[in-house]
Amino acid sequence: MANSPQARKRARQNQNRLAINKARRSRIRTHIRKVEEAIKAGDKEAAMNALRAAQPELMRGVSKGVFHKNTAARKMSRLAARVKALG
């Protein structure tokens, strides 16, 4: 248990940050899932629109420290390749 005032404050901040990061990660996963569902349905137009919406979310996750930049780049690259292959 945190005993010093700054350790107590840090514990509170960590709880808040955990909740924010959890919500952000969930939001990103939802966007990725929408792209994958459109790909599975074979709807290229919907997949492209979903990918365009997912890309800024992923990069925002990187800038906020939720994902590593290479992880986000890899996910975007693989999704883009799958959308392109729908043609």
Q: What is the pLDDT of residue 58?
A: 97
Q: What is the pLDDT of residue 2?
A: 76
Q: What is the pLDDT of residue 65?
A: 94
Residues 71 and 2: their CA atoms lie apart, in Å, by: 34
Say which CATH number the domain at 29 has: 1.20.58.110
Per-residue confidence in pLDDT tens, the chain, 87 aa: 778 999 999 999 999 999 999 999 999 999 999 999 999 999 999 999 999 999 999 999 999 999 999 999 999 999 999 999 997
- Overall number of domains in the chain: 1
Residues 72 and 55: their CA atoms lie apart, in Å, by: 9
Range of the domain at 45: 5-86
Q: Buried (b) or exposed (e) across 17-40, using 16+ Cβ within 10 A? A: eeeeeeebeeebeebbebbeebbe
Residue 58, C-beta contacts closer than 8 angstroms, at least 6 positions apart: 28, 31, 32, 67, 72, 75, 76
Is 37 in a helix, a strand, or coil?
helix
